[in-house]
Amino acid sequence: MAMIKSMTGFGRGEVTENNRKFTVEIKTVNHRYLEVSVKLPKKLTAFEANIRNVMKEYMERGKVDVFVTMEDYNEAAETVKYNSALAHDYMKYLQDMADDFGIQNDIRLSVLARFPDVFTMEDIEADEEELWSALEKAVRSACEKFVTSREKEGENLRADLLEKLDDMAGYVDFIESRSPQIVDEYRKKLEEKLIDMLSSLDVKADEGRVVTEVTIFADKVCVDEEIVRLKSHVKAMQDALREGGSCGRKLDFIAQEMNREANTTLSKSGDLALTDKVIDLKTVIEKIREQIQNVE
């Protein structure tokens, strides 16, 4: 029996290598398809496609948010860059200004150094393979914990759905046993009504007419086909749940068919007790459909 995975889950992975700490967090909610959103520092944007490819190894459906942070403890992570050409331009134009206005050029080194972009801080380019090696470990660590949380929730979903299917099977059994009784009760009521109406006229009830009316009624309220299909759908869903794997879409299709048969059964119901049970049946089916939305 393969595991069932929920589409909701969380995983967090941390890896520290070469004085850099990578933290990856993964959060997911249910979604019809796989949709991955990755937020990561500017230094790591080149690895977005790599991260998406790793995600596909661990999940098939769901709206996935991936958050990546990096802390760099290397002392030489940044360096100062002196823009000599820009400093010369500043000095040239300051001298031109002094000449234009006939004033002394009193610019000092400390003042010139504060001019925009004369000195800038630049990141030292890190080796991409080295960065990805550590980042991938953090991504996979988060994915493994994320899968564990999804499998745990998936097992809870499986147990809950199987319990609801047992309830549903009980309602179907009641409908199956109650349906013939409705026809028998209708026949008795019809015969009693005809006897009451015709007794005063001293006329015998036409048995053939009674049989015809009962047959027409039985045809209208017959739910034999719906019961057979409902039982088949219950078994198909139980089998799919026990088989496990990525069965969410299959379960969703079966639940739609269950709802269709329940609606037809309700439309044919001519009995209060039967109607109540069919409504209970539809309520369980709706709960099943809601739960299935969380199954991968």
Per-residue pLDDT of the chain (296 residues), as tens digits, is: 678 889 889 999 999 998 899 999 999 998 888 999 999 998 899 999 999 999 999 998 899 999 999 998 875 556 678 889 988 988 888 888 888 888 988 888 888 888 898 888 766 566 788 899 999 999 999 999 999 999 999 999 999 999 999 999 999 999 888 877 765 655 666 555 655 655 554 545 555 655 565 565 555 657 778 889 999 999 999 999 999 888 999 999 999 999 999 998 888 777 788 889 999 999 999 999 999 999 98
Closest to 250 measured CA to CA, from 61, 63, 64: 61
Closest CA to 124 of 20, 234, 228: 20
Buried b (16+ CB within 10 A) or exposed e, 269-286: bebeebeebbeebbebbe
Conformational region of residue 80, where left means phi above 0, alpha means psi within -120 to 50, and beta covers everything else: beta
CB 221 within 8 A of CB 187: no
228/8 Cα distance (integer angstroms) = 34
The answer to pTM > 0.85 is: no
Tally of residues, the chain: 296
